[in-house]
Structure 1
Amino acid sequence: MASATSSSAMIPPGSPIQAPAEKPGAPPINILPSKLSQVYSYVHPVLLLTLCAVRFEKLVADPVQELLRDLPWLALLQISYVMLCLPPAGSTQATETVSDGEEKKKAAQRSPSSPSMTLRPGKPGYRRKHQSGKLDLAGALAKIMPAFLSLAISSLIATPILAVLLVLFGAPLTTHNPETVLCAAHMALLSATALVYAHGVDGHIWKEVWGIARPVDAVWGSALGTGLGAWFGAIPIPLDWDRPWQAFPITILVGAYVGHALGSLVSRAPLLYGKRIQFAPVGTEEAEKKTN
């Protein structure tokens, strides 16, 4: 009889039943610690705004042709940014920093007389340089492939999703279809390239992205800034100012570029970095209404 007793009977009465632990959210993404990465992370938003400002007059004159011409330049800038400034999916700045420190300690402890190293006569350090060259090439390939994959995924998946969202938010459905698709393509490269590069296709993280529950960092801040900037950029379109730059999708696109740049910079401020947007639960709101 004792062996047939269920495990639930062993739980003492009144003890709380533990719910299954939820998967912890991924920490915020840090810019890589190298000097080049830190400098370019501030230069990149300036380059994007410069591209937008320099091509603005041609964008007003012929939106479709100009959006097509600017798309390769935007793709090049985004690939450069993710490769220089961000860790690829599956790695974090912390683990890279620890591994680099361990390698430096091991290299400092080694000596030319160590049996683990084989040096050629007359060519000191040849084997070490040769090995470091292989590591550098492997590190470059480990960044190039995720960068182009993130660019492809952003173009093929995020572009149609954003095009549908633009239509749902008021973009014309039967006209201006090339403008809608190209505007969505620019917004996809601005918002999704870094997200895919840094987080891959982890469903738990993408639930946080769509639920606006990610901790604030440069990657999430630039994506959120792109969406908010495009939303605010649509405000001048229905106003009766009769300006040529009010035509769809010029102000939306400019707002997306400005929002991306501001989001990537503001999100790195100490007061915002790592914080999450907190929404008040329904029970709390009802309790406040009853007390009032």
Structure 2
Amino acid sequence: MSSTPPSPSLSTTTQNPPTPKPSSPPVPFLPSQAARIYSFAHPFLLLGLLGLRFDKLVADPVTELLNDLPFLALLQVGYVMTCLPPAGSGYAHGHGHSHKAVGETGGSGDSAGEEKRKTNPVVRAGKAGYRRRQQKGEAGGFSVKLIPALLSLTLIFLLATPVLSILLVLFGAPLTTHNFETVLCAAHMAVLSTTALIYVHGVDGAVWKEVWGIARPSDGVWGGALGTCVGAWFGAVPIPLDWDRPWQAYPITILTGAYIGFAVGSLIGRASFLYGKRIEFTPEELGIEKKVD
């Protein structure tokens, strides 16, 4: 009597997909009073300077753009050093959520720690002193902020300006004429949009993938960069219209739109109803077809 050998059992193993790397949190502004005030005043200061110099910009765009570029770079460096944490300080990425509550929405921190401080006065005093020392260290000294700021300007003029010049040509800027206007317009846009991005994120590849993929969580830094690009896009609309106005000449309206977009984006990006949110694309928008089992 022969017995059939038992058939080998088929074990089904399910493999979990790899966990994606968590996105870096939005960048909060520094909690100092000077940072709070100047972070709101800076966009209006840029718009005011643009308005004061607008007639000269229309009369001689190349000379005015060249003369205004050092002042714009100085203002942007002062802005990032006063209001933003430098790359590598741990303030932007390591403490983003806790300072979001303090710096953006006015919250009080985590409830467990607050309850502990209430029940133990000694711990409360020690924690307060530690927090003040920690914030002071995170804010850093002048040299800690100046080096990333100068590095940001170097990368802007070496990398961002040529890239934006090529993009302007690809989007319709003259190729054989107005070359100085194109390069200077790209330089102004680069200083507006990428100074703060490089200052707070450095050359972190994961963050820059989110930047190019329009996947960064909303904050004042990302809002200013995105607003600059969107504003320049809309600023190109009046150029081909037959109004015969002197301010329609290339690249005046593009640059004006970039300045306005930076101001609006940097203010709206840090608003409570947008802070920390991101643009999400559906699979249909990305052109990905759902697999049917």
One-letter amino acid of the counterpart of residue 33, structure 2: K
> Which ranges of 4 or more aligned residues in structure 1 deviate by more than 6 Å?
135-138, 283-288
Distance 1:283 1:184 in 2: 30
Judging changes above 3 Å, is the alpha-carbon distance between structure 1 residues 29 and 283 closer, same or farther for their aligned structure 2 residues? closer
Judging changes above 3 Å, is the alpha-carbon distance between structure 1 residues 106 and 28 closer, same or farther for their aligned structure 2 residues? closer
Percent of aligned pairs sharing the same letter:
61
One-letter amino acid of the counterpart of residue 126, structure 2: K
Matching residue within 31, 37, 40 for 2:38: 40
What is the SS of the residue equivalent to 1:189? helix
1:92 maps to which residue? Answer: 91
Q: Which runs of 5+ in 1 are unaligned?
A: 1-11, 110-134
1:105 maps to which residue? Answer: 126
Instruction: Give the conservation status (yes or no) of the 8 Å contact 2:235–2:256.
Output: yes
What is the SS of the residue equivalent to 1:282? coil
One-letter amino acid of the counterpart of residue 207, structure 2: I
One-letter amino acid of the counterpart of residue 34, structure 2: L
What's the CA shift for 1:280?
1.4
What's the CA shift for 1:263?
0.1
Query: Per-residue displacement from partner, 1:39-70 (whole Å, max 9, x unpaired)?
Result: 00001001110111110000000000000110
Distance 1:27 1:198 in 2: 12
2:107 maps to which residue? Answer: none
What's the CA shift for 1:15?
3.8
TM-score (norm 1): 0.79
1:179 maps to which residue? Answer: 181
2:18 maps to which residue? Answer: 20
Q: How does 1:144-163 map to 2 (within 5 A)?
A: 144-163=146-165
Is 1:263 aligned with 2:251? no
RMSD: 2.9
What's the CA shift for 1:259?
0.1
Judging changes above 3 Å, is the alpha-carbon distance between structure 1 residues 213 and 138 closer, same or farther for their aligned structure 2 residues? closer
Q: Which runs of 5+ in 2 are unaligned?
A: 1-9, 100-122, 131-136
What is the SS of the residue equivalent to 1:48? helix
1:56 maps to which residue? Answer: 54
Query: Per-residue displacement from partner, 1:84-141 (whole Å, max 9, x unpaired)?
Result: 110111222564989xxx9x838969xxxxxxxxxxxxxxxxxxxxxxxxx7996211
Judging changes above 3 Å, is the alpha-carbon distance between structure 1 residues 250 and 20 closer, same or farther for their aligned structure 2 residues? same
Judging changes above 3 Å, is the alpha-carbon distance between structure 1 residues 77 and 239 closer, same or farther for their aligned structure 2 residues? same
What's the CA shift for 1:223?
0.2
2:194 maps to which residue? Answer: 192
What is the SS of the residue equivalent to 2:141? helix
**Structure 1 range deviating more: 148-157 or 161-170:** 148-157
1:244 maps to which residue? Answer: 246
Distance 1:172 1:146 in 2: 34
Judging changes above 3 Å, is the alpha-carbon distance between structure 1 residues 273 and 14 closer, same or farther for their aligned structure 2 residues? same
Judging changes above 3 Å, is the alpha-carbon distance between structure 1 residues 139 and 13 closer, same or farther for their aligned structure 2 residues? farther
Distance 1:202 1:284 in 2: 25
Is 1:229 aligned with 2:231? yes
One-letter amino acid of the counterpart of residue 158, structure 1: A
Distance 1:23 1:136 in 2: 25
Judging changes above 3 Å, is the alpha-carbon distance between structure 1 residues 21 and 80 closer, same or farther for their aligned structure 2 residues? same
2:71 maps to which residue? Answer: 73
One-letter amino acid of the counterpart of residue 149, structure 1: L
One-letter amino acid of the counterpart of residue 267, structure 2: L
Distance 1:209 1:143 in 2: 23
1:205 maps to which residue? Answer: 207
TM-score (norm 2): 0.79
Distance 1:224 1:236 in 2: 21
One-letter amino acid of the counterpart of residue 19, structure 1: P
